[in-house]
């Protein structure tokens, strides 16, 4: 069996009915299985994870992007998280019997179809990027919907890989790519000062001299009156969760601020959590490989 995961992020975090309609369009494809869906009102964003055979997931992803383009209007969209499209990003992740090159091909095929049939400009990113400057999603999305609306068609550097050289009036643009497993990890602080969260984010993000495989930003969580360090762990083995958590906690203490909790958005590989257990419990002769083998064996039995 060949399995590929797809994790589209939609710019809708406040209307469950809209998200259910989008997810329904994807799971209506035979062979597509929903693993997880999460919404965040402050970020005004939803993260959906589907899995299945490559062709089924490819079709499911297209239908989700198509439905989102009908339901999400970027001209009235507000939220903490950067965004440039109704479907902001749509990465493919190899799971079983599928290579990264296979996922790059899926990204290309989906991008061509979205650009041609839906007339939404598509940028390929990460492993599917057609130029080095587009490997990093932050660079692709720079300017967000409003900025890209002015630049696409006038700045050659912003020419999409597929689709028209103009922004879709309501659905914006979409980044489609291929990447390894990513852990979306947020750490909440007992402060309302977003400047503190941004300083801490800068201290751990790779672009500012922090951890090699970490991207981070500081946000307000207005409904709770706190701030958040929002993190993308692009390689949880190279930069483990526990190491990043401990650093954020120490940095927060410098400003007289405490960590009040953390959260994982979407799914997380079991190996990442097993590593945290090993670190905090300081278990002697802990055989993490055996634990993972047992977990995988139980999953296959199910």
Shared domain for 50 and 172, answered yes or no, is yes
Structure tokens, 154? 């006038």
Q: Hey, is 5 helix, strand or coil?
A: strand
Q: Residue 2 in contact with residue 54, Cβ under 8 Å?
A: yes
**In terms of residue numbers, what domain contains 29?**
3-178
Confidence (pTM): 0.86
Q: Is 299 within the bounds of a domain?
A: no
Shared domain for 157 and 199, answered yes or no, is no
CATH (domain of 75)? 3.30.990.10
Shared domain for 89 and 206, answered yes or no, is no
Q: Is 173 within the bounds of a domain?
A: yes
Name the band, by pLDDT with cuts 50, 70 and 90, for residue 174. Answer: very high
First to last CA, the chain: 15
- Note the pLDDT of residue 270: 87
Q: Give the whole-angstrom CA distance, residue 14 versus residue 2.
A: 34
- Note the pLDDT of residue 96: 93
Q: Is 279 within the bounds of a domain?
A: no
Name the band, by pLDDT with cuts 50, 70 and 90, for residue 267. Answer: confident
**Which H or E element spans position 50?**
strand 45-52
Catalytic-labelled residue, pool 43, 81, 168, 206: 81
Q: Residue 276 in contact with residue 301, Cβ under 8 Å?
A: no
Number of domains in the chain: 2
Active site residue 81: yes
Query: What is 74-130 written as a DSSP string?
Result: GGG---SS--SBSEEEEEEEEEES--HHHHHHHHHHHHHHHHHHS---EEEEETT-S
Rg (CA), the chain: 19
Examine the pLDDT at 178 and tell me if it is beyond 80: yes
- Note the pLDDT of residue 203: 96
Shared domain for 162 and 195, answered yes or no, is no
Burial of 96 (0-12, 13-18, 19+ CB in 10 A): exposed
- Note the pLDDT of residue 1: 86
Q: Is 281 within the bounds of a domain?
A: no
Structure tokens, 122? 């598509």
What's the rounded mean pLDDT across residues 209-227?
A: 94
Picking from 143, 178, 213, the residue at the C-terminal end of a domain is 178
Q: Give the whole-angstrom CA distance, residue 84 versus residue 171.
A: 8
What's the rounded mean pLDDT across residues 276-295?
A: 73
Picking from 127, 145, 178, the residue at the C-terminal end of a domain is 178
Q: Give the whole-angstrom CA distance, residue 242 versus residue 214.
A: 13
Which of these ranges, 250-254, 269-273, 274-278, 286-290, has the smallest mean pLDDT? 286-290
222 or 12: which leads in pLDDT? 12
Q: What is the pLDDT of residues 107-117, one digit of tens each?
A: 999 999 999 99
Q: Give the whole-angstrom CA distance, residue 285 versus residue 260.
A: 32
Q: What is the pLDDT of residues 49-80, one digit of tens each?
A: 999 999 999 999 999 999 999 999 999 999 98
Examine the pLDDT at 119 and tell me if it is beyond 90: yes
Shared domain for 78 and 164, answered yes or no, is yes
Shared domain for 125 and 243, answered yes or no, is no
Q: Is 168 within the bounds of a domain?
A: yes
162 DSSP assignment: B
Shared domain for 170 and 244, answered yes or no, is no
Query: What is 181-218 written as a DSSP string?
Result: --EEEEEEES---HHHHHHHHHHHSGGGTS-TTEEEEE
Inter-axis angle of helices 54-71 and 100-117, nearest 10 = 40
Q: Is 85 within the bounds of a domain?
A: yes
């Amino acid at each position: 069996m060949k399995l590929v995961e797809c994790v589209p992020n939609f710019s809708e975090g406040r209307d469950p009915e809209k998200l259910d309609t989008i997810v329904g369009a994807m799971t209506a494809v035979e062979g597509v299985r929903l693993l997880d869906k999460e919404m965040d009102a402050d970020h005004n964003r939803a993260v959906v994870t589907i899995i299945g055979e490559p062709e089924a997931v490819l079709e499911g992803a297209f239908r989700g992007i198509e439905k989102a383009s009908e339901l999400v209007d970027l001209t009235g969209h507000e939220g903490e998280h950067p965004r440039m499209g109704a479907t902001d990003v749509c990465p493919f992740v190899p799971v079983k019997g599928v290579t990264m090159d296979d996922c790059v091909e899926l990204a290309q095929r989906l991008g061509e179809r979205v650009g041609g049939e839906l007339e939404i400009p598509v940028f390929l990113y990460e492993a599917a990027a057609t130029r080095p400057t587009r490997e990093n999603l932050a660079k692709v999305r720079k300017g967000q919907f409003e900025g890209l609306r002015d630049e696409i068609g006038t700045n050659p550097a912003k020419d999409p890989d597929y689709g028209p050289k103009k922004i879709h009036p309501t659905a914006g643009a979409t980044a489609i790519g291929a990447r390894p497993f990513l852990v979306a990890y947020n750490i909440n602080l007992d402060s309302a000062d977003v400047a503190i969260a941004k300083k801490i984010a800068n201290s751990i993000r790779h672009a500012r001299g922090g951890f090699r495989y970490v991207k981070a930003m500081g946000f307000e969580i207005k409904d709770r009156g706190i701030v958040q360090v929002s993190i993308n762990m692009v390689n949880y083995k190279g930069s483990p969760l526990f190491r990043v958590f401990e650093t954020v906690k120490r940095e927060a203490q410098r400003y007289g601020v405490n960590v009040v909790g953390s959260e994982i958005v979407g799914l997380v590989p079991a190996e990442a959590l097993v590593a945290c257990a090993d670190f905090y419990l300081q278990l002697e002769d802990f055989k993490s490989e055996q634990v993972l083998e047992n977990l995988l064996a139980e999953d296959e039995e199910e």
